[in-house]
Chains A and B, each alone.
Chain A
């Protein structure tokens, strides 16, 4: 390796992040190269100075108490008083979900089983849930109530700058209840309402500038199940208190309908 290649590896070398054989190459080169030796020394010196002099800010004492008070954690620092923690949202069993899912579905969709780091998407998920809850609570589930997609689809004309795919999925066990306009991600979106047994499902659809497809992701928030994907320039959010397996089934149907083109 020449000096340029060695210099590119030096940061990882001083951080001990290089593989054994690369480390040996750097060792050997540095032994015989004064300029790389200097560069190595300066990088080590900088690291040492940072570790020695940069302030490590410790959390003020009251911060832990504030956090404990805001969470269902015991307020005593011991954390082991007999008092039971508050009941929060109902537990959700991801493991039985995993075993119930058929292998075909598992291959078709990349489902994330573990809750991810809250990203902008997770924050959007919270909005989706609030929206869903509001639509149920104020008894304003639909602006246009019809199980006929030939009625619901034209209703959106002129109200949105795109035309959502609307299908009646009664045959698949998800009758269409209706549609309404809603507001998510700083824009007007189509909300389609489907029903499965006694569960209502909101399907939010809106176009995205970035045409990238996103595989189905599952999330749960505030006791609700959410699915999210993007396909054909449209982003989809599905939310319900329905169990995730059946919700995923709906997602598969919607994806199949979407790829057949709107009806």
Chain B
């Protein structure tokens, strides 16, 4: 079963390299910079190759994204002062959503109306970019990369329950940002 280096390279090319766009999209959304994302993805691929044993098969996508994600975090820590804009303790604020739900349920803040008024690429992108990193990454993995909860749990290194609570909280925050942008526009 010992794979030669040439076989390893070929397997890597077949099952890891095709996910380059996903890797770049994640790194770009997390770092919010084109140049950083290129550096991060390149470094992540070097690491991925080093750790690649040819056995990942169908999990290659989540595995690669996990490496990209971890590389991004390390990269941001080394290159930027603070990674997290707002530390947020979801264990405290988690699924008990009554508090944050009130804002959304107010009649003049009807989310569908907000979205209709915000039916605009710039505003959606801007809101998603503002989201704290730990929520942004979950939303990007879910809505843009179409990963399952289980895959997201692997990539972000968190339990599935936390994936769910971060998605719920992240979506609420996103709606609040959109509402705020909308008020600024009015």
Residues of A participating in the B interface, judged by any CB pair closer than 8 Å: 4, 7-8, 10-12, 15, 17, 35, 38-39, 41-43, 45-47, 49-51, 53-60, 63-64, 66-67, 70-74, 79, 84-89, 91-95, 114-119, 122-123, 221
**Are B121 and A60 in touch, CB under 8 angstroms?**
no
B1-38 interface bits toward A, Cβ cutoff 8 Å, 1 = contact, 0 = none: 11111101110110001001101110011000010011
**Are B115 and A45 in touch, CB under 8 angstroms?**
yes
A-B contact pairs, 25 of them (CB 8 A): A4-B98, A11-B171, A12-B149, A17-B148, A17-B164, A35-B105, A46-B175, A54-B124, A55-B121, A55-B125, A56-B144, A57-B28, A58-B25, A60-B38, A63-B24, A63-B38, A66-B38, A67-B42, A70-B42, A73-B17, A86-B5, A93-B1, A93-B2, A117-B63, A117-B70
**Are A45 and B111 in touch, CB under 8 angstroms?**
yes
In the complex, which of the residues B20, B111, B148 has the most CB atoms of chain A within 10 Å of its own CB atom? B111
Set of chain B residues within 8 Å of A93, measured between Cβ atoms = 1-2
CB distance from A35 to the nearest CB of B (A): 8
Give Cα distance in the complex from A73 to B8, angstroms. 10
**Are B6 and A11 in touch, CB under 8 angstroms?**
no
Set of chain B residues within 8 Å of A79, measured between Cβ atoms = 10, 13
Q: Which residues in chain B, 124-147, are within 8 Å of chain A measured between CB atoms?
A: 124-125, 128, 139, 142-144
Set of chain A residues within 8 Å of B143, measured between Cβ atoms = 47, 50-51, 54
| Given contact pairs A50-B143, A54-B125, A59-B21, A118 touches B101 in the complex (Cβ within 8 A) | no
B38-59 interface bits toward A, Cβ cutoff 8 Å, 1 = contact, 0 = none: 1001100111011111010000
Given contacts A35-B105, A55-B125, A57-B29, 13 further A-B contacts (CB under 8 A): A11-B164, A11-B168, A50-B128, A57-B25, A57-B28, A59-B24, A67-B42, A88-B5, A117-B67, A117-B154, A117-B157, A118-B70, A123-B74
Set of chain B residues within 8 Å of A71, measured between Cβ atoms = 9, 12, 45-46, 49
Set of chain B residues within 8 Å of A64, measured between Cβ atoms = 17, 20
Set of chain A residues within 8 Å of B37, measured between Cβ atoms = 57
> Which residue of chain B is the closest to A85 with respect to CB atoms?
B9
CB distance from B104 to the nearest CB of A (A): 7
> Which residue of chain B is the closest to A62 with respect to CB atoms?
B38
Set of chain B residues within 8 Å of A122, measured between Cβ atoms = 51
Q: Give the B interface residue count (CB, 8 A).
A: 69
> Which residue of chain B is the closest to A88 with respect to CB atoms?
B5
A-B pairs with lowest CB-CB distance, top 10: A42-B111, A59-B24, A85-B9, A57-B28, A53-B124, A91-B2, A11-B168, A50-B143, A117-B66, A85-B6
Give Cα distance in the complex from A115 to B142, angstroms. 25
| Given contact pairs A58-B21, A63-B42, A73-B17, A50 touches B67 in the complex (Cβ within 8 A) | no
Give Cα distance in the complex from A17 to B95, angstroms. 17
**Are B12 and A53 in touch, CB under 8 angstroms?**
no
Give Cα distance in the complex from A79 to B42, angstroms. 18
> Which residue of chain A is the closest to B74 with respect to CB atoms?
A123
Set of chain A residues within 8 Å of B17, measured between Cβ atoms = 64, 67, 73
| Given contact pairs A70-B42, A85-B9, A54 touches B149 in the complex (Cβ within 8 A) | no
- Does B81 interact with chain A (Cβ within 8 Å)? no
| Given contact pairs A46-B111, A85-B6, A119 touches B20 in the complex (Cβ within 8 A) | no
> Which residue of chain B is the closest to A71 with respect to CB atoms?
B49
Give Cα distance in the complex from A88 to B121, angstroms. 46
Interchain CB contact (< 8 A) of B20 among A42, A45, A59, A221: A59
